Structure 1
Amino acid sequence: MSEQKQEYITEKEHVEEKFDVERTSVILDEENSPIPEVAAIVPNTDDPSLPSLTFRFWIMATGFSVLISFCNQFFWFRQDPISIGMSVVQLLAYPLGKFMARVLPTGILNPGPFNIKEHVCIALAANCASGTAYAMDIIVIQRVFYGQNFGFLANFLLILTTQLLGFGLAGVLRRYLVYPAAMVWPANLVQVALFSTLHKDEDLARGQWSRYKFFMIAFATVFLYEWIPTFIFPVIGALAWVCWIKPESIVVTQIGGPSGLGFGVITLDWNVITAWLGSPLVVPWWAQVNIGIGFFLIAWILVPITYYTDVWEAKKFPIVTPGLFRDNGDSYDATAVLTSGVLNETLYEAYGPLRISTFFALTYGIGFAGLTSMLSHTWLYHRHKLVAQWKQSREHSEDIHHKLMQAYPEVPDWWYIAIFVSMIIVAIVTCEVWDYKLPWWGVILAVVICCIFVLPVGLITALTNQMPGLNIITEYVIGYALPGHPIANITFKTLGYISMTQALTFVGDLKLGHYMKVPPRSMFWAQILGTLIAALVNLLTADWLLSSQQGVCTTSVDFPCPYAGTFYSASVIWGVISPQRMFGSGSMYNVVNYFFIIGLILPIPFYYLKKWVKSSWVEFIHLPVLLTATGMMPPAQAMNYTNWLVMGFIFQFFARRYHAEWHLRFTYVLSSALDSGTAFCVLISFFIFTNRNVSMPNWWGTRTDLCPLDGNSYTPPAAIPTSS
């Protein structure tokens, strides 16, 4: 702690040398951000004397990072995953910080009142720990579906490199995506508003509830309620009344079954509602309308038409599934065509080609269209803003927030560069020493793709809050470069796609710290702490579940791993079979390539429609959001979308319009309470009942055969015994 105290004293001396408080107060009276939304929400004041990396920070940041990374990795294996986000940590850390400030002895353990900068650093660390490492998909499907286990060290290094490589890029991107005022990062404004609200006294009327009282009551209520759909009465998690009318009919169960098109399925389980799309209480209504239209056109119009007209022999397979099949409808066993993890041409010719459901093929096509529509939409609507931002970034124009940040010593560039270079080296060594079958040039190529796209995608994200993914591009590139190599394909995809995503996630957090005037070096260590904890805890949690629970990702009802199942299917489609065989000339699925062109062209008529038709509803048409509406299907199901949209209508339309004051005060707080209450209920239920093989006595409310056909009879491949 003495080193921490000395660092704080040195930083404070630096602040006092560069920052004149009296002069600042004059500047702040005159200056504010040129962006109206930022000026309205982000405070243009700062107190450089507030400490950030305090003892309280290290304790709470470590504790919350461990808790949130364990919970999110644990829930990742469930059919309807739960994700605990930053807002939950924001709300829980505040009273705990206040409590520690009250009970700890004054001094280095307790340097004063719990302050907003400590709070932000805790939330930043936990946010870095909240995302389940994408590389876990590689490790899981290796162990379950490919019978490989390279051991703890290889797995840890793979996770670490894919999580931290983007962190090195984030440091380079600061000058272009953090410092300029034009780089707004709209999602951060919600977090700024919540931080500011918590750290100022609420002006309450007589009898009015505070946000914290509301949070605690809502949290306790949902915690108690969730025992009903989780354990006592699970049927209410999917009330498929349409299917119950005629459960022996395949068509009825395809249309009204929970795993089919989900028409009329009602869920009373918050976990099911938020599993794939997040909380509907925080997504703007205009975006939800676009998602709803996209879902309706794709899932309830296009999919039934193509299925019942037997496009691509659709009726051989379930209507909604990410499964892999042979031509006769049996499950496709990819290991039957592999030798030492590589496609064997002779075995492939004997075993036969890979077939996928019409729904799955269409989702790839819609994904192609969504990617190219993002490019044309951004060019049509935002090119002038993007060019202006780029020029502003090059000119290093400063707003008041950037000026205030000059009070603090910056993180040296070589810190970030050292992390970036070392992670590339570790990635190459990991892929070469262990049998990932991705050569050194593949690692370099993945990093190059990431570096090419990270700035333009970052510009789009900072302005529009839309982040185009590189998963399709990376799968295509390595699928042609190394056909027949599934593990190399998904490793390349992770290095190229997730490194960019991680870089922009880190940059977004840096912008939040920039808004809140957190010293850059404090942000650096907070982000490193959360990332390292998450890498270790994610791996330990997954290893524990895979070792202790039977049938994880295959036959387990509690842990079916929908993410890993879809990831495995992608590894076979793009890696084992390769895009040339799957979508190339002569393939029955070749037509989906035209979706690239459709997506590129489609925004153009809507762009001119907005110019010609002066109507408010036209202004809210957003083709990229509409086309990517079903991007989570699979593994998401139709019922997740329909119930999510209903809840969105209640809170983001009805409550916002007719109960605006209540909506403004409590909607975000309610969302956090619902998420955290549900998560803790499911977690405790697992350790009390599921982990001890204790189940609810059989009665009608626990039946799983109410829709026996359900339009989806796909059985995943059996687990393969792993070999080190």
Structure 2
Amino acid sequence: MVLAWKQARNRTQPDPHYQAMLRYKEVPQWWYLVLFALCFFAGLAVNIIGETTLPVWGYIISLLLGSFIAPFSCILYGLYGSGVATNQISKMVAGAVHPNLPLANLFFASWSHQVILLAVNLANWLKVGQYTKVPHRVMFATQIYGTLLGAGLNYAVMTIIVNSQREILLDPQGNNIWSGSIVQSLNSQAVTWALAKQMYGVAGRYLIVPLGIVIGLAIPVFHWGLIKLIPRLKEWPINTALIVAYSGINYYGNTSWIWSSIAVGIFSQLWLRRRLPRIYNKYNYLIGAALDGGSQLVIFILSFAVFGASGTAHPFPTWWGNPSGNPDHCL
């Protein structure tokens, strides 16, 4: 991280994509400072006027916590194209700082985690802009425009879906299209971490949850120790942190997306990258961005035209690929 910071300050980063971007005017630092000030005071106003029960000092601490974690998350994502979820750390700190205040816990974790999530997403797309040679200032303006447009569009779509699918979203089970499980889990976690001493303490029923962080930390250390004892293990490119992090994803919801992701990943990163590196280097990132944008557009259209986001659903015919029960063919 220190080396990357020095290379950025001195403009000595050897990456050819970075060097090619030096022809464009860089975004002045004061643009980011002004944007930060506007967002900080806007968030402060929302926090106070919204009666979140989160004190101003708690709001500031949540932003500082997110700012501390964000660089490490960006480094992980830059190195491996993936990261380790840190939203539970925000909730743990919130429970320790604001005990018995579930609403304050919810907003503390939201402010803190959004700093991390948005930092990774914005850095990711800045990197895509670098690969596609979009000027720095154009990317800056585009990201602000996209963020504001997305906020308004997401709020409008959310309001329509919540009003039209209210009963299903309130059902803990949901169905194979609509589910409020993620929002319900955020609410449940805010309540439980506000009662952290009773729920997750030594005498609590769920002590294993905070111990999970200790276990997750110990596994990479154990792997590192094995490499010291058996140096040949270093030849195996295994990242135990990512393995442990992703091992807990498959316990809820649909899982069919995992197999399609694995198929696309193997084709892109294993076959195409090795067999046709010229085509991979020229088109892979462009195709990836196109697939992301296309998927979101198709989901938006299907949600309203087929899945009943506006009230009336027009379901697809039932067949092997679209069973009447669980779409993953799980019993």
Cα deviation 1:485-522 (Å, max 9, x = unaligned) = 22221211111111122123212222332343322221
Which is higher, the Rg of structure 1 or of structure 2? 1
Of the three residues 181, 187, 190, the one matched with 1:562 is: 181
**SS of match in other structure, 2:204:** coil
1:588 aligns with 2:205: yes
The one-letter amino acid of 1:571's match is A
CA contact (8 A) 1:474 1:496 kept: yes
1:579 aligns with 2:196: yes
CA contact (8 A) 1:446 1:492 kept: yes
- Return the offset for 1:447: 1.2
CA contact (8 A) 1:563 1:635 kept: no
- Return the offset for 1:610: 4.1
> Structure 2 CA distance, aligned partners of 1:472 and 1:652?
32
- Return the offset for 1:544: 1.3
Cα deviation 1:174-213 (Å, max 9, x = unaligned) = xxxxxxxxxxxxxxxxxxxxxxxxxxxxxxxxxxxxxxxx
1:549 aligns with 2:170: no
Of the three residues 54, 60, 63, the one matched with 1:438 is: 54
Q: How does 1:686-701 map to 2 (within 5 A)?
A: 686=307, 691-692=311-312
> Structure 1 CA distance, aligned partners of 2:75 and 2:265?
31
Of the three residues 297, 305, 322, the one matched with 1:684 is: 305
Q: State the identity %.
A: 23
Which residue in 2 is equivalent to 1:425? 41
Q: What TM-score, normalized to structure 1?
A: 0.38
CA contact (8 A) 1:471 1:497 kept: yes
> Structure 1 CA distance, aligned partners of 2:121 and 2:127?
10
> Structure 2 CA distance, aligned partners of 1:412 and 1:620?
39
- Return the offset for 1:584: 0.8
- Return the offset for 1:683: 4.7
1:463 aligns with 2:82: no
CA contact (8 A) 2:86 2:113 kept: yes
Cα deviation 1:64-112 (Å, max 9, x = unaligned) = xxxxxxxxxxxxxxxxxxxxxxxxxxxxxxxxxxxxxxxxxxxxxxxxx
Could you say which structure has the greater relative contact order, defined with CA pairs below 8 angstroms and 6 or more residues apart? 1
**SS of match in other structure, 1:672:** helix
- Return the offset for 1:546: 1.6
Q: How does 1:100-139 map to 2 (within 5 A)?
A: none
Residue ranges of structure 2 left out of the alignment (5+ in a row): none
- Return the offset for 1:639: 6.1
Which residue in 2 is equivalent to 1:408? 24
- Return the offset for 1:406: 4.1
Which residue in 2 is equivalent to 1:672? 291
> Structure 1 CA distance, aligned partners of 2:25 and 2:256?
51
The one-letter amino acid of 2:75's match is L
**SS of match in other structure, 1:507:** helix
CA contact (8 A) 1:450 1:500 kept: yes
The one-letter amino acid of 1:397's match is T
Cα 1:510/1:652, change in 2 over 3 Å: closer
CA contact (8 A) 1:469 1:497 kept: no
Q: How does 1:150-229 map to 2 (within 5 A)?
A: none
**SS of match in other structure, 1:479:** helix
Which residue in 2 is equivalent to 1:624? 241
Cα deviation 1:196-248 (Å, max 9, x = unaligned) = xxxxxxxxxxxxxxxxxxxxxxxxxxxxxxxxxxxxxxxxxxxxxxxxxxxxx
- Return the offset for 1:572: 2.4
Cα deviation 1:2-49 (Å, max 9, x = unaligned) = xxxxxxxxxxxxxxxxxxxxxxxxxxxxxxxxxxxxxxxxxxxxxxxx
CA contact (8 A) 2:305 2:313 kept: no
Which residue in 2 is equivalent to 1:607? 224
Of the three residues 530, 533, 541, the one matched with 2:149 is: 533
The one-letter amino acid of 1:594's match is L
**SS of match in other structure, 1:503:** helix
Which residue in 2 is equivalent to 1:397? 12
Cα 1:552/1:424, change in 2 over 3 Å: farther
Cα 1:389/1:543, change in 2 over 3 Å: same
- Return the offset for 1:396: 4.4
CA contact (8 A) 1:562 1:635 kept: no
Q: What TM-score, normalized to structure 2?
A: 0.77
Which residue in 2 is equivalent to 1:597? 214
- Return the offset for 1:455: 2.9
Q: How does 1:468-487 map to 2 (within 5 A)?
A: 468-487=84-103
**SS of match in other structure, 2:31:** helix
Of the three residues 58, 64, 67, the one matched with 1:451 is: 67
> Structure 2 CA distance, aligned partners of 1:463 and 1:702?
39
CA contact (8 A) 2:95 2:193 kept: yes
Paired positions, count: 315
1:656 aligns with 2:271: yes
Cα 1:505/1:390, change in 2 over 3 Å: same
Q: How does 1:492-503 map to 2 (within 5 A)?
A: 492-503=108-119
Cα deviation 1:380-432 (Å, max 9, x = unaligned) = xxxxxx45435544554244655554433332222211111121112122111
Q: For the aligned residues, what is the CA RMSD?
A: 4.0
Cα 1:589/1:661, change in 2 over 3 Å: same
> Structure 2 CA distance, aligned partners of 1:597 and 1:427?
33
Which residue in 2 is equivalent to 1:521? 137
CA contact (8 A) 2:63 2:111 kept: yes
- Return the offset for 1:684: 2.9
The one-letter amino acid of 1:614's match is R
> Structure 2 CA distance, aligned partners of 1:526 and 1:390?
24
> Structure 1 CA distance, aligned partners of 2:69 and 2:318?
54
Cα 1:523/1:690, change in 2 over 3 Å: closer
CA contact (8 A) 2:21 2:135 kept: yes
> Structure 2 CA distance, aligned partners of 1:695 and 1:601?
47
CA contact (8 A) 1:566 1:634 kept: no
**SS of match in other structure, 2:78:** helix
Which residue in 2 is equivalent to 1:509? 125
Residue ranges of structure 1 left out of the alignment (5+ in a row): 1-385, 711-724
**SS of match in other structure, 1:600:** helix
More helix by share: 2
The one-letter amino acid of 2:305's match is I
Cα 1:676/1:660, change in 2 over 3 Å: farther
Q: How does 1:283-432 map to 2 (within 5 A)?
A: 386=1, 388-393=3-8, 395-399=10-14, 401-402=17-18, 404-432=20-48
